[in-house]
């Protein structure tokens, strides 16, 4: 299990050779990789602006494969979104996990505990 997390920004997801290399490192469990939907949108927008020979559908497929094979990044995004939508959002990650446990979601809280510093 990787002991640290790396946020892949758009500048490393485009160009493709760098993205592929860094994704392989994450798939080898050297670290956890994560990104947001906004980061996806940015790198895809830049590729489409610079590479008219590629289609949005091709890039969408790459995005889906990234999300499928390194799905923890999307879980973290969902947790952040959920936390922000709470009526009185907890101030700390620990308070957030306590709130999740109180909502009868102990397995979710257990899973997210390893990402407490990112939530």
Same domain, 5 and 45: yes
Compute the mean pLDDT over every residue in the chain, rounded to the nearest whole number. Answer: 85
Percentage, residues of the chain above pLDDT 90: 34
The answer, yes or no, to whether residue 1 has pLDDT greater than 60, is no
Q: Which domain holds residue 106?
A: 72-119
Question: pTM surpassing 0.75?
Answer: no
On whether both 116 and 60 belong to a single domain, the answer is: no
Domain identity same for 63 and 79: no
Query: HEC states along the chain?
Result: CCCCEEECCHHHHCCHHHHHHHHHHHHCCCCEEECCHHHHHHHHHHHHHHCCCCCHHHHHHHHHHHHHHCCHHHHHHHHHHHHHHCCCCCCCHHHHHHHHHHCCCHHHHHHHHCCCCCC
Please tell me the predicted confidence (pLDDT) of residue 73: 63
pLDDT at 14: 95
* Domain total of the chain: 2
Same domain membership, residue 107 and residue 89: yes
Q: Are residues 62 and 81 in the same domain?
A: no
């Amino acid at each position: 299990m990787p002991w640290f997390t790396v946020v892949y920004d758009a500048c490393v997801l485009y160009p493709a050779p760098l993205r592929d290399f860094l994704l392989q490192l994450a798939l080898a469990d050297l670290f956890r990789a994560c990104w947001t939907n906004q980061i996806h949108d940015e790198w895809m927008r830049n590729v489409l602006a610079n590479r008219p020979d590629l289609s949005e559908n091709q890039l969408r497929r790459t995005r889906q494969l990234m999300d499928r094979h390194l799905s923890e990044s999307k879980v973290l995004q969902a947790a952040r979104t959920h936390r922000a939508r709470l009526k009185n959002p907890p101030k700390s990650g620990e308070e957030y996990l306590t709130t999740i446990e109180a909502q009868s979601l102990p397995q979710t809280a257990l899973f997210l505990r390893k990402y407490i510093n990112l939530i």
